Amino acid sequence: MKRTLRMLAAVLTGLTFAGMAGAQGAPAPQAPPDYSVFPCLSYTQACGKVATRPPVKKALDGPLNGNPEKGKQLAQARNRGNCLACHVIPGGSQPGTRGPDLSHFGSSGRSDAEAYAMVFDMRTVNPETLMPPFGTNDILNEQELRDVVAYLLTFR
Amino acid sequence: MSEHKRTPALAAAALAFCALAAGNVLGEQANRERYPDAKIDPAKGVEGDVGFSDTIQYWRTEADLERNAGMADKPDEQWKLNGKHMDLDRIDLHPGHMAVDEGAALVKKLAARDAAFLTCLGEGTADLKGKAAAYPKFDAALGRIVTVEGRIEHCAKSVLGEEIPQGKPANTKISVYFKSLSAGVPIKVDIGDGKVMEAYRRGEQSFYARTGQLNMACASCHVPGSIMGHKLRGETPTTPFGDTAHFPTYRTPVGALESIQERFARCHNQMRTQKLKPGDPAYTDLEVFMTVLSNGYPVSVPSAR
């Protein structure tokens, strides 16, 4: 019976959301993001022949100058950094557990440049990593990378 | 295989070799990073999960599921049920069940226009019972791999001149009805057919290929040592074994029916990878690979997830 109720609740939630989208004239749909510059599985489209971008060992140019507050927003946003998908970070809800716990990342003795290089492209440190190459694949821009690194380094 | 990503030249050589060995159209993708091969044996079917995620012990049979029902309420354990506990909800409430009736009505209506529609679906007979369990299969007359959804699209077009494309609700509803007539029948994709195995090998290549802005493969979340079994924010990725058995399924978070190939497209969007259309040859090959990993497990349609 418990399972039945749970299923019913889930179904009704789904129907409610489906109904809302139709009834309230949802905002004009955004153009879907174009991921076709990256590799895809197609046998015929151009992205099916795109190569993986090779690892880039990026040196930090000048002082870090990151904004930890902006970095926090980027790190937690599902459609941006989404560090929480895989890492425990202080104050984040529903953290992932596959990546290392970053709760004390700022006490690990890593320099700004080392931390920056890891976020830019973790493959330069660990070729087997599951971590997306945030710099190499343009997930975050230069200033956003600096903001995220500044935020990570505040974890003591 | 794990060292082959450390040396790009070796990786390229290994991939080229695999591609050649499989007669693979992907042979030119030498510069594609890959997740290390989990060495799945297609001959084992769903039992390949033994020594893989090893969760099949909890969901292999209904008795196993009943015995382990308590795991559904434990956040760290629930993923081990592989969603199969939801198949025990034998209530006639969710829209997956309604889709069976709607699909049956659609087939009846289309067959009334030309009875050949039904015999096309049934490959010579009007009896569809048990037939969906053998899909995907190689169709010699069409010269290609055909899924249940692909068969529906083909029969509508060739017999009635009507477009019922894969991924559209009418196609998915008919598929739910078609597959419900095989509910409980063990899946038996014919791995003795060379063409099926060629498709399997191409699908296997795709499973390990890293794609998109996040540079992830299916395998990044669905093999041992990957994210499988770990929390990925609110979710815990599960084993790929047994997974195609309940598709098309009613997705409660989405509020809609979804075929396995629509699910691939949804995954790809989350992986920030260019998604493909249901029925795309690359998705069909991936469905072959995935369905061989369900061989021996009963068709579980209708279902909800």
Interface test with A, best of B68, B274, B284, B285 (most A CBs within 10 A): B274
Q: CB neighbours (10 Å) of residue B96?
A: 23
Which residues of A fall within a CB distance of 8 Å from B282?
Answer: 41-43, 48
Q: Are B101 and B117 in contact (CB under 8 A)?
A: no
The DSSP 8-state label assigned to residue B135 in this structure reads -
Does the CB of B282 have a partner CB in chain A at under 8 Å? yes
Q: Are residues B44 and B160 in the same domain?
A: no
Last residue of a domain, which of B158, B180, B202?
A: B180
Q: Which residues contact B221 (CB under 8 A, 6 or more apart)?
A: B227, B228, B232, B237
**Chain B window 173-212: which residues touch A at a Cβ cutoff of 8 Å?**
206, 209-212
Q: Are residues B101 and B244 in the same domain?
A: no
- The pLDDT of residue A29: 61
Q: Is B89's CB within 8 Å of A4's CB?
A: yes
Asked if the structure places residue A63 within a domain, the reply is no
Interatomic CA distance for residues B110 and B117, integer angstroms: 7
Asked if the structure places residue B13 within a domain, the reply is yes
Asked if the structure places residue B246 within a domain, the reply is yes
CATH assignment of the domain containing A83: 1.10.760.10
Residue of B72, B206, B230 lying closest to A41 (CB–CB): B206
Which residues of B fall within a CB distance of 8 Å from A75?
Answer: none
Q: Is A85's CB within 8 Å of B28's CB?
A: no
Q: Are residues B79 and B120 in the same domain?
A: no
Range of the domain at B223: 2-90+188-292
Does the CB of A2 have a partner CB in chain B at under 8 Å? no
Range of the domain at A142: 68-152
Distance from CA of A137 to the nearest CA of B (A): 6
Provide the terminal-to-terminal Cα distance of chain B, rounded to the nearest Å.
35
- The pLDDT of residue B88: 87
Residue A1, pLDDT > 60, answer no
Does the CB of B90 have a partner CB in chain A at under 8 Å? no
- pLDDT one-digit tens code per residue, A70-105: 999 999 998 899 999 999 999 888 899 999 999 999
Interatomic CA distance for residues B11 and A17, integer angstroms: 46
Shortest CA distance from A138: residue in chain B: B213
In the chain, the amino acid numbered B277 is: K
Residue recorded with tokens 């690194």: A149
Which residues of B fall within a CB distance of 8 Å from A33?
Answer: 272
Q: How many domains does chain A have?
A: 1
Taking Cα atoms as reference points, which of A40, A72, A149 lies closest to residue B267? A40
Asked if the structure places residue B304 within a domain, the reply is no
Q: How many domains does chain B have?
A: 2
Asked if the structure places residue A137 within a domain, the reply is yes
Q: CB neighbours (10 Å) of residue A16?
A: 11
For the purposes of burial, counting CB atoms within 10 Å of the CB of B9, is it exposed (0-12), middle (13-18) or buried (19 or more)?
exposed
- The pLDDT of residue B1: 37
Does the CB of B29 have a partner CB in chain A at under 8 Å? yes
Interatomic CA distance for residues B111 and B174, integer angstroms: 12
Interatomic CA distance for residues B203 and B211, integer angstroms: 14
Beta strand B144-146 with B249-251: parallel, antiparallel or unpaired? Answer: unpaired
Interatomic CA distance for residues B291 and B194, integer angstroms: 16
Q: Are residues B86 and B194 in the same domain?
A: yes
Asked if the structure places residue B303 within a domain, the reply is no
Asked if the structure places residue A145 within a domain, the reply is yes
Residue A17, pLDDT > 60, answer no
Taking Cα atoms as reference points, which of B145, B233, B238 lies closest to residue B193? B145
Q: Is B227's CB within 8 Å of A98's CB?
A: yes
Distance from CA of B207 to the nearest CA of A (A): 9
Taking Cα atoms as reference points, which of B116, B155, B128, B123 lies closest to residue B140? B123
Mean of pLDDT over chain A: 86
Q: Are residues B9 and B22 in the same domain?
A: yes
Q: Are residues B203 and B279 in the same domain?
A: yes
- pLDDT one-digit tens code per residue, A96-147: 999 999 999 999 999 999 999 999 999 999 999 999 999 999 999 999 999 9
Asked if the structure places residue B250 within a domain, the reply is yes
Q: Are B182 and B136 in contact (CB under 8 A)?
A: no
Q: Which residues contact B18 (CB under 8 A, 6 or more apart)?
A: B24, B205
Residue recorded with tokens 């494309």: B165
Q: What is the pLDDT along chain B (305 residues), one digit of tens a residue?
A: 343 444 444 444 444 444 444 434 444 456 899 999 999 999 999 999 999 999 999 999 999 999 999 999 999 999 999 999 999 876 667 899 999 999 999 999 999 999 999 999 999 999 999 999 999 999 999 999 999 999 999 999 999 999 999 999 999 999 999 999 999 999 999 999 999 999 999 999 999 999 999 999 999 999 999 999 999 988 999 999 999 999 999 999 999 999 999 999 999 999 999 999 999 999 999 999 999 999 999 999 999 99
Residue A14, pLDDT > 90, answer no
**Chain A window 120-139: which residues touch B at a Cβ cutoff of 8 Å?**
127-128, 130, 132-133, 137-139
Q: CB neighbours (10 Å) of residue B148?
A: 29
Does the CB of A76 have a partner CB in chain B at under 8 Å? no
For the purposes of burial, counting CB atoms within 10 Å of the CB of A8, is it exposed (0-12), middle (13-18) or buried (19 or more)?
middle
Q: Are residues B23 and B86 in the same domain?
A: yes
- The pLDDT of residue A150: 98
Asked if the structure places residue B124 within a domain, the reply is yes
